[in-house]
Amino acid sequence: RAGRAHTLHTSKSAFRRKKTTERRTTMAAATTSPEAQKELLLAAGIHQQVGWNWRVDVPLGEFPGVSVDGAGLVVGLDFSEQRELEFDLEFDLAVLAPLTSLQVVNFRNCRRATGDIEVFKGMELTSL
């Protein structure tokens, strides 16, 4: 019985990993448009932690903390304006990796962010 429970747990974990990998692959492949980048940011849920008014019906360039280029792609994320937080933002850095248009990221107030900073390797970041 214990062996069966372990197998079931392993199977669930493998399924979750596969599902997460598929979702990240889909998101990574689809972040070359402003709409896809907006979808990615909304799905990450960072805005919910700080009360930012990111909504699907608002242009990406009007999202607090987000800067876009002439094509409407995300070039900057600034988390420094959240001085009133009683806690630090918590998210996995990997959710931002598909935003390959990023040039500037301010991680102030993100001390609980997790993941490997290497996800930004290869991006043309001018400030991290």
- Pick from 42-46, 73-77, 81-85 the range whose average pLDDT is largest: 73-77
Tens of pLDDT along 8-55?
A: 444 444 444 444 444 444 344 436 899 999 999 999 888 887 778 889
Using a pLDDT cut of 70, give the percent of the chain over it. Answer: 71
What integer best gives the mean pLDDT of the chain? Answer: 76
The SS3 call for residue 92 is strand
Q: In angstroms, rounded to a whole number, what is the distance separating the alpha carbons of residues 63 and 85?
A: 18
What residues contact residue 47 under an 8 Å CB cut-off, 6+ apart?
41, 53, 54, 63, 64
* Contact predicate 105/97, CB 8 Å: no
According to DSSP, the residues that pair with 105 across neighbouring strands are 77
According to DSSP, the residues that pair with 74 across neighbouring strands are 68
Length of the chain: 128
Q: Does residue 6 carry a pLDDT above 50? A: no
| Nearest CA-CA partner of 100 in 40, 54, 11, 12 | 40
The SS3 call for residue 15 is helix
What global pTM score does this model have?
0.70
| pLDDT reported for residue 82 | 63
Tens of pLDDT along 99-113?
A: 999 999 988 778 788
Q: In angstroms, rounded to a whole number, what is the distance separating the alpha carbons of residues 99 and 91?
A: 15
